[in-house]
A = this chain, B = another copy of it.
Amino acid sequence: MSTHSDPASPLTMRDVAERLGVSTMTVSRALRGQPGIGEATRKRVLAEVAALGYRPNKLARGLRSGGPSELIGLVVTNLGNPFYSRLAVGVEEVCVRYGARVMLGSTSEDPGVERDVVTDLLERGVDGLVVVPASHDQGHLAGERLRDTPVVLAAAPPMGIEVDCVLVDDVGGTRAACRELLDRGHRRIGFLGLPPSLWTGSERFRGYALALEEAGIAVDERYVSRERGDSVLAERAARAMLALPDPPTALLAANNRNTVGVLRALRDRPEDKGPVALAGFDDIELADMLYLPLTVVSYDAAEVGRAAASLLFERQRSTVPLQPRRRTIATTLVDHPVSR
């Protein structure tokens, strides 16, 4: 009657210990497989634990032991984007391998929200953070606020802070795609880009310009659009380019949203005006089921997440101070012909 039988309050180690007539330390040791306890006692304890359905409180354990929380914060702009959900899959995969869990934070690309989310995750005791930054303003990821919590940026490089990062080979991928179009004989290649203020925007433009330069072709501003990634804007820009007196014979889209826009622009184009070749950064599900052939720059988004999480755990386990590291995930060019 003394031990509370309130079904609402969870069992504690004391409940187990009292029922067995041992001390909580004995239960604790049995649970963690520590030495210094008889084999018979351990069995008795574990049996009682199983019978009662007792589960240790990991929060209390962490508080006392001061060890790692085995918890990683993952801050993304929008999980609805397949790129980030696959990245999340990669992060979780590595975390589980290290016995850690993932705590989620979405920012909706709002730097203010990102700041608050990071603060909340830190207060909740994460061991580290994988962040897809919402903007160039990364001050809140600097050392003072974080104390010792390691951070890895994904899909963007650090700006004015010193942390690890994992990038995609934007330049190489775009360059390869542009080269492919050049190899097929195209000389007027339109680029549906992204704002230069975005890392991805400037890098992918660089790849495009580089390939042209290598082919001895100057960038023609009439064939370049650099608006924010939005299928409607891309569709309009593509239409405008195709209405030029000497329209491009091929188009290169800087991300999947832009590719979709271009697909719309090309769909109701009169047949007699001649075909327009299309290539785009980011793979597209069902790319092989479309009404026209498509070449895409593909990469493993989950690998970005895996690499980021790996950098985090390496740093966490490292005894010596590590310099900021940078990993780049390769891209591959994939042709999706129309077989019909």
Contact = CB atoms under 8 A, between A and B. Distances in A.
Interface of A: 7-8, 10-11, 53, 55-60, 62-63, 69, 71, 74, 78-80, 82, 85-86, 88-89, 92, 96, 101-106, 119-125, 144-145, 147-148, 260, 263-264, 267-268, 284-286, 289-291, 302, 338-340
Contacts of A119: 55
11 contacts: A53-B144, A56-B123, A59-B59, A59-B69, A59-B125, A80-B86, A101-B120, A101-B121, A260-B289, A263-B286, A291-B291
B57 A125 contact: yes
Contact of A89 (B79, B264, B338): B79
Which 4 pairs between the two chains have the least Cβ-Cβ distance?
A: A85-B85, A102-B104, A58-B123, A80-B89
A333 B190 CA distance: 37
Contacts of A106: 89, 92, 96
Choose among A59, A89, A96 the residue with the greatest number of B CB atoms under 10 Å from its CB.
A59
Contacts of A104: 74, 88, 92, 101-104
Nearest to A144: B53
Contacts of A260: 286, 289
A306 to B, nearest CB: 13
A263 B289 contact: yes
Given A7-B147, A286-B285, A340-B267, A82 B79 contact: no
B339 A55 contact: no
B101 A101 contact: no
Nearest to A84: B85
Contact of A123 (B55, B125, B147): B55
Contacts of A105: 101
Given A7-B147, A57-B63, A59-B69, 17 more contacts: A11-B147, A55-B119, A55-B122, A58-B125, A59-B125, A71-B124, A79-B88, A80-B86, A82-B85, A85-B85, A92-B104, A101-B120, A102-B103, A267-B339, A284-B286, A286-B290, A289-B290
